[in-house]
Structure 1
């Protein structure tokens, strides 16, 4: 609750004004039936036009005040709730930025998106209802009940009977409907996941003509959500007929019993009319309370999901006394083991013992699932090793300030990501203050200048979301240029030249020696040609190191490497085909 309520503290003033306006509105409405009784008894039945005008003017004033208080409550409750929703989304987003990959794996991307959209909207709506209806209904219920009992204590059992009946019926409806609402949000996650996956992979969907299959998958998720909502809303829809049954039953009982009291001169006509108004106010208050219970139940389910995201402790955090500088680019893996926290529990890496000198160029090659990407993800603490120690610059990576460590390590991932904006804005992720000359120098080194200079806008060329208006090879080269601008102590290329031709790949590697000569370079690749000039090459197989050495040395001593080199020289296959002994996904 503290996590959920903290953002509302910014809007305490608006919330207090909303509650004040609601109370004022209710007070004015409660007095209106009293005044109406006087108009009927002292004005209409007595034939006193002056009393009618005086009491009528009083009603107009109260109605105007009620309207003013209502507008005040509506404005400030909307301002507070919308602001609260915005602040809550910001808080969740800020929290997600602190997550490690393992934390994100736990929730899934679709689950986090649902929490920041649908769940926050539910909580936002609930907060507005709490400031308005949850304040209005209890006050209206109690005030109308007291006023009705003050008019006629003899007829009060009718009120209580109606209240008990309506409360019991609405309680049953709420209990059964909320059970369904608790399941609805998991269905939302499935629906969002289906949309996200389809949109992200739309080119693959079209290439394989799988639109019909994807439509059917989405339809199934949407249909599940539809059926759950129909069941829940079908129960909630019973509120109105139950309410009408209670209202009309109460009116009939009051008419019958009240008429006898009027005939017996124990009650005036105006008082009986006021009682009808108070009965409606009492029952409407109960009806609104039932709506609040349903909405709060939905919002509590959403609130729990939001609280889970806010209370989640990042698996990776800064130590108490973090080191704020990286001495050099040396990397040491001391008998490292690693398993994904939300995987199948099996070790992805086993007993990795590898020592890399600062400024050395290391190639890593291996079959699919051999642990290449997992290994380099430990260098910048995207994950933490489950066994052994990883050191950068002679210091355990867990001893560094995260920003310091990650600023010293530039990673170009296998899946290249560009953000919407301009080319220059994307490149300046690597160096926010870089000049245009520095941007062009990085593009020259990454072999991106050639196609950029052909664009009329050059560095100001527009990048669509995800970089869809650039080819795979162009995106790879832009991402390499972005990494080079960081002037990192360690540069990791995770199969990030797979979409460029061999000649371009060679020119990029040659540029590294000129632009970042002292940087430690780790190159993960499937092509032998991408790593054969490295100082040393690491051959991985099944999460273990199968061999380490220079190109010629591995050709002589390592069966896997020799087999791959032979097959690629003949142009007959890639690493996985040539090395069937490597672990496969």
Structure 2
């Protein structure tokens, strides 16, 4: 967790102020019992009312000053801890944004959400305790021991027995509890994973009548987390009673042996009262440290998980000196490109070589798992090629900055993603400064105008989270409009017409022709009707190119393409 404290640099003034204020508060707390002893031994014993009022008034001022210092220190420490949490969330979010898809695949979405929220909260809560207790508790303990010795050396042996006994109990309890605290976050990850899968896949769950099964999965994960929490709390429940028992026995022993010393004339009543207060302060300071020790293990586990995210180096990085393309048209070339997913036995792509020019439509077709989406993911540099080179405008994409590369691309993903906000906001996502006219034009080309205008608020219609209040075809058309409004050099349509009926599909492709005529276009599709008019069709099979050509050429030369066409078209259409 110490590694994370480097982000507290901007709050060093607050931290210094907290330390000073807590130091003053501790001095106040330690001085009050001595003043009380003086009031008893000198004022009450001698019946000196003036002395009692004078010292009593001074005690009120000291107590008020200590309280003011404590309030201010608590405010500043809370403000620092909350700011610390904000910085950590910003750092994690920024780091996650730099991850390639491989890092997302490795870590998982559920755990990234938990680390950004719950784990940061754990560290933030402990930061407040550290700022307040880590300073005041040791000072109170050491100061209390010093002041107790000043009051009476003869009773200090009681503290030498009580303090080690407390440390022994704390050590035993924490040794049992720390491993379970570490497990808490792992089990919370599992619970979040199950919950997230259930909520995002609620339609599938209901369609297959798997509500009871999902309840069982959630109950198992929930019960697992609960059982772990119960174990932790059982262990920690021993701590407080044992500490209070030791504190009470210590107080009894002080009164017993203190009474003997008073009877022998070796000690005064006020000194005994002060000694009891100092002993209580010492033991309570250890109790405060224990509370800190209880929370630190879980926060430490959270800190390790946060550091794991912050220390993860993205496999895809921008070069130190990004290359600039000489020509800015959208020319794409694959040169003997191969790619394998981590842990896969077979490569997803093998020896892919082709080129695509501006003004051409390159269609990619093949069976499920043939590598179609993987191929276009290499163009956008969501993944880096294992072998070979992917060139855009004559420059290897690994030598370009990711921002400049993706500024050339209008990407429509296989799974349409919309964000909460208006329809206009979602289309404007492709171009922040788009005018209402540009938004309407993009929607018109994408064949979205009719259904948008049929809605009560038109382009101001609110899209629900995940786009759940529009159909699959409507989502696809809005995703296409979002890409069109960028007017990029390269368009990638990754199976982006699958949810459209044949009539809308044909109208959309006809409207696209003039709109994207100057750009390089990649269309991934399952339908032969969608790709048969392309300038070039690339047929993939098991990650390899088994044919490149026009529709008619491939019918005569590529068996795989002929099978795909035969499965979709009638005998007459095939002829």
TM-score norm. by structure 1 comes to 0.95
Q: Take 1:45 and 1:268, find their aligned partners in 2: how far apart are those partners?
A: 10
Question: Do the aligned residues in 2 keep the contact of 1:3 with 1:311 (CA within 8 Å)?
Answer: no
1:431 equivalent in structure 2 = 431
2:178 equivalent in structure 1 = 178
Number of equivalenced pairs:
570
Question: Do the aligned residues in 1 keep the contact of 2:476 with 2:499 (CA within 8 Å)?
Answer: yes
1:95-146 Cα deviation digits (max 9, x unpaired):
1111111111121111111111111011111111111011110000000001
| SS at structure 2 position matched to 1:171 | helix
State the Cα distance separating 1:570 from its structure 2 match.
4.4
2:101 equivalent in structure 1 = 101
2:331 equivalent in structure 1 = 330
State the Cα distance separating 1:13 from its structure 2 match.
2.1
1:92 equivalent in structure 2 = 92
2:229 equivalent in structure 1 = 229
State the Cα distance separating 1:221 from its structure 2 match.
1.0
500-509 or 163-172, which moves further after superposition? 500-509
1:471-502 Cα deviation digits (max 9, x unpaired):
10000000001001111111111111100011
Instruction: Quote the RMSD (CA, aligned, Å).
Output: 1.5
Question: Do the aligned residues in 2 keep the contact of 1:363 with 1:523 (CA within 8 Å)?
Answer: yes
Q: Take 1:22 and 1:320, find their aligned partners in 2: how far apart are those partners?
A: 47
Question: Do the aligned residues in 1 keep the contact of 2:463 with 2:469 (CA within 8 Å)?
Answer: yes
1:574 equivalent in structure 2 = none
Q: Take 1:204 and 1:348, find their aligned partners in 2: how far apart are those partners?
A: 28
Q: Take 1:236 and 1:88, find their aligned partners in 2: how far apart are those partners?
A: 29
| SS at structure 2 position matched to 1:272 | helix
Question: Do the aligned residues in 2 keep the contact of 1:537 with 1:548 (CA within 8 Å)?
Answer: yes
Question: Do the aligned residues in 2 keep the contact of 1:171 with 1:290 (CA within 8 Å)?
Answer: no
Question: Do the aligned residues in 2 keep the contact of 1:365 with 1:372 (CA within 8 Å)?
Answer: yes
Pairing 1:254-269 to 2, within 5 Å after superposition:
254-269=254-269
1:112 equivalent in structure 2 = 112
Question: Do the aligned residues in 1 keep the contact of 2:339 with 2:350 (CA within 8 Å)?
Answer: yes
Classify 1:36/1:3 alpha carbon distance in 2 versus 1 (closer, same or farther; 3 Å): closer
State the Cα distance separating 1:218 from its structure 2 match.
1.1
Question: Do the aligned residues in 2 keep the contact of 1:191 with 1:218 (CA within 8 Å)?
Answer: yes
State the Cα distance separating 1:2 from its structure 2 match.
7.5
State the Cα distance separating 1:345 from its structure 2 match.
4.8
Question: Do the aligned residues in 2 keep the contact of 1:21 with 1:73 (CA within 8 Å)?
Answer: yes
1:579 equivalent in structure 2 = none
| SS at structure 1 position matched to 2:364 | strand
Q: Take 1:324 and 1:130, find their aligned partners in 2: how far apart are those partners?
A: 50
State the Cα distance separating 1:18 from its structure 2 match.
2.2
Q: Take 2:254 and 2:158, find their aligned partners in 1: how far apart are those partners?
A: 7
Q: Take 1:324 and 1:276, find their aligned partners in 2: how far apart are those partners?
A: 77
2:247 equivalent in structure 1 = 247
Pairing 1:161-200 to 2, within 5 Å after superposition:
161-200=161-200
1:132 equivalent in structure 2 = 132
2:340 equivalent in structure 1 = 339
1:238 equivalent in structure 2 = 238
2:442 equivalent in structure 1 = 442
1:204 aligns with 2:204: yes
1:405 aligns with 2:432: no
Q: Take 2:228 and 2:56, find their aligned partners in 1: how far apart are those partners?
A: 50
Query: Structure 2 regions of 5+ residues with no counterpart?
Result: none
Q: Take 2:324 and 2:63, find their aligned partners in 1: how far apart are those partners?
A: 66
Q: Take 1:3 and 1:536, find their aligned partners in 2: how far apart are those partners?
A: 54
| SS at structure 2 position matched to 1:267 | coil
1:32-81 Cα deviation digits (max 9, x unpaired):
11111112111223222222222221221111111111110111111111
Question: Do the aligned residues in 1 keep the contact of 2:361 with 2:536 (CA within 8 Å)?
Answer: yes
State the Cα distance separating 1:358 from its structure 2 match.
2.6
Pairing 1:525-536 to 2, within 5 Å after superposition:
525-536=525-536
| SS at structure 1 position matched to 2:350 | strand
